[in-house]
Chains A and B, each alone.
Chain A
Amino acid sequence: MSILNLALLFAFGCFALAQLLCLYRVMRAPGFSDRVLALDTMAINMIALLTLFGIQRGTQVYFEASMLFAMVGFISTVAFAKFILRGDIVE
């Protein structure tokens, strides 16, 4: 087992654990904005997981999926925050 595979396993474990912690924070949060922040963090961690999967499989087809996750995560977070602030997303 090469050093790259070990590092890949470590990074997979770390981001999976981070995803579980964020999921816990989505389920049990003291406030509304905590849930939005946890959802945003889940989207960001998902980008990292997709990229790690791409390294492991040795293919580059997952970068479009990562790009989509980045854009959708950002836009959904802004829409959530705008909805809290104004009650209306497109003014």
Chain B
Amino acid sequence: MSILAEILVAALLVAGGFFGLVGAWGLVRLPDMMTRLHGPTKAATLGVGSVLIASMLHFWLQRGILSWHELLITIFVFITSPITGLFIAKAHMHLSWKRGELPRPASGVEWCTYGEGAENSPIVTVEGPEKPCE
């Protein structure tokens, strides 16, 4: 039983380290910003999650302490990572493309990246407040 638990924890640790390294390597090597978002938000999150689960199993199966802290951190990271990716993608849209270069949103509304208040940004200047498009 103990050797099985140790092998399980070790396998989770190795998988976590591998995926964390793959995420960071993708951050450095991939050619485009939108593809570079994939590495940290998917692979690195999976790596951190499996390391946290390995820690939880280690303390539970080998030391007899059941703690839910790791599960809490895992759920938090898994919830917040897509939100982080969304925000960085929006910021990248804001920095890279002008309004006319994007496809139109559906029903007469404006992309909120270029909406009201976006002209306050110190990094980029977009043209004017939103106008109804033709």
Contacts and interface: CB of A to CB of B under 8 A. Distances in A.
A4 B5 CA distance: 10
Given A11-B16, A31-B92, A41-B23, A60 B67 contact: yes
Given A33-B91, A78-B87, A11 B51 contact: yes
Contacts, number: 180
A64 B27 CA distance: 28
Interface residues of A, number: 58
Q: Is the interface of A mostly helix, strand, loop or mixed?
A: helix
Contacts of B20: 11, 14-15, 18, 45, 48
A86 B118 contact: yes
Interface in A48-87: 48, 51-52, 54-55, 58, 60, 63-64, 66-67, 70-71, 74, 77-78, 80-87
B107 interface: no
A18 B88 contact: no
Interface residues of B, number: 61
Contact of B17 (A13, A33, A78, A88): A13
A40 B84 contact: yes
Given A44-B40, A63-B73, A78-B87, A84 B14 contact: no
12 contacts: A31-B96, A32-B123, A34-B36, A44-B45, A51-B55, A54-B55, A63-B73, A66-B73, A83-B121, A86-B120, A87-B121, A87-B122
